[in-house]
Structure 1
Amino acid sequence: MGYGLGVFLLAIGLILALAVTDNINSVDLTMVGWILTLAGVLVIALTAVQANRSRRSTAVVTHADGSQTVSERRDDVPPPAV
């Protein structure tokens, strides 16, 4: 799952929803297209959230006296240009 799958679903969905005028018996291709479009947008959004979450890490260190130290690291390195 990733950006590629989301873009693929989005493209196929928009083609079915906006460009296809054929009819299949008891199947509304326009509705199927809109459902695929929504699924593609959802996959793209979930992939972006997951990629953002993986750039952050938290470490908790427990000392001998029972105290804890929490350190959070966030890598704000921009993704590579494509």
Structure 2
Amino acid sequence: MRAVRVGGPIILAAIGAILYFAVPDAVEEVPLGTIGLILMIAGGIWLVLELILGRRRSSVITEQRTINDGGVPRQEVHERRQDEI
């Protein structure tokens, strides 16, 4: 099973929140609030992508055979689940 990595997006969003909400615009000509908002949005998008791409995927393989056993045809169906990591 593939582990979902959510630490990076959460840290990025936290840094963005600190810049947006807690740090006053002490540096002129550098909009820290805008940079913080961009970091929070990027962290949110990254988190959603990690959750979507990190989920477990599986497929079902179905094998069907017709067996003629003494003149009476019968069908055998086998289903097998294959997990992709």
Question: TM-score when scaled to structure 2?
Answer: 0.62
**Is the deviation greater in 32-41 or in 17-26?**
17-26
Aligned-pair CA distance for 1:74: 5.8
Aligned length in residues: 67
Q: Which residue of 2 aligns with 1:56?
A: 57
Deviation per residue, 1:51-78 (Å, 9 max, x gap) = 12xx1133768xxxxxxxx966469xxx
Higher Cα Rg, which structure: 2
User: What root-mean-square deviation, in Å, do the aligned CA atoms of Structure 1 and Structure 2 show?
Assistant: 3.0
SS of 2:54's equivalent in the other structure is: helix
Structure 1: 5+ residue stretches without partners: 62-69, 76-82
**Is the contact between residue 57 and residue 83 of structure 2 (CA under 8 Å) also seen in structure 1?**
yes
Query: Equivalent of 1:6, from 5, 9, 14?
Result: 9
Gaps of 5+ in 2: 63-78
List 4+ stretches of structure 1 deviating above 4 A: 70-75
TM-score, length basis structure 1: 0.64
Percent sequence identity is 32
Which has more strand, going by share of residues?
Answer: 2
The answer on 1:16 being equivalent to 2:19 is yes
